[in-house]
Amino acid sequence: MGLELYLDLLSQPCRAIYIFAKKNRIPFEMRTVELLKGQHLSDAFAQVNPLKKVPALKDGDFTLAESVAILLYLTRKYKVADHWYPQDLQACARVDEYLAWQHTTLRRSCLRALWHKVMFPVFLGEPVSPEMLATTLAELDVTLQLLEDKFLQNKAFLIGPHVSLADLVAITELMHPVGAGCQVFEGRPKLAAWCRRVEAAVGEDLFQEAHEVILKAKDSPPADPTIKQKLMPAVLAMIQ
C-alpha cells in the first residue's frame, strides 16, 4: 500500500497538507474522515491515529500524526523544491519560527472565530453571546496584526521572496474565519496582497478546490443530537 492521507478539508491543517501534496504531485490515496460525523473518534480511526485527530499519514507500516510533522515528512521524502523548507539555516529557522508560533496564536484565533460565529449557533444549535463573539473577533484582529508586523512585514511572503510551508499553513488558517463570513482582509491591503500571491503560487484552481468545504461552513445542517453529544467535549477542548 502506498501513501495514505487521512483528511477532512473542513480542517485547516488538512487543507495545508492536501494542497502541498497536490501541488508537488505527491501520489497519495485520500482517506476522508468526516469530523462533523465524529468519524475521528471511532475505534477504527484510532488504529491509525490513537490521538483521534486529523490529519494522519500512513506510509506502508509507518503512521504519523500532527500536521507539521506530516508536512516535514513529505518535504524530506519527496525532495520538493527548496523554497518550501529551505536548506539555508536562517531561512529554515524562520519557517520553524512561524510553525512554532502559529499553534497557540493564529490557529486558536481562527478556530474560535469559526466556531463562535458559525459552528456553535448553526451546527450545534448553541447560542454565543454578543460579548463572547466580540471578544473572539477582537483577539483575531490582534493576532492578524502580529502576523503582519512580525512575519509578513514588507516581504512578498512570510519568509522572503518565495512561498514556503509557513505561508501555506497561515493561509489555510485564515480561510477559517473567511468561511465564517469575517472580513479578514478588509483594511489590510498588505495581507490581502499576500493572500493573492499565495493563491497564485499554489494555483487558483487547487486553492479553491481545497477551500470549497470551509467556504460552505455557514450552510452546515444542524448536528444530530447523538453526534452533538459525542463532539461537544472535543470541540470545547479544541477552542479553549
Domains and CATH numbers, the chain: 3-83 (3.40.30.10), 85-239 (1.20.1050.10)
State the pLDDT at residue 66.
97
Residue-by-residue pLDDT tens, the chain, 240 positions: 699 999 999 999 999 999 999 999 999 999 999 999 999 999 999 999 999 999 999 999 999 999 999 999 999 999 999 999 999 999 999 999 999 999 899 999 999 999 999 999 999 999 999 999 999 999 999 999 999 999 999 999 999 999 999 999 999 999 999 999 999 999 999 999 999 999 999 999 999 999 999 999 989 899 989 989 989 888 888 887
Q: How far is CA 88 from CA 9, 67, 93, 96, 208, in A?
A: 32, 22, 8, 12, 31
57: left (phi over 0), alpha (psi -120 to 50) or beta: beta
State the pLDDT at residue 235.
87
Q: Give the distance, in angstroms, between the CA of residue 133 and the centroid of all CA atoms in the same chain.
A: 21
State the pLDDT at residue 116.
96
The runs of H, that is alpha helices, within the chain are 12-23, 43-46, 67-78, 89-102, 106-114, 130-146, 165-179, 189-202, 204-211, 225-238
- pTM score of the predicted model: 0.96
State the pLDDT at residue 44.
94
State the pLDDT at residue 122.
93
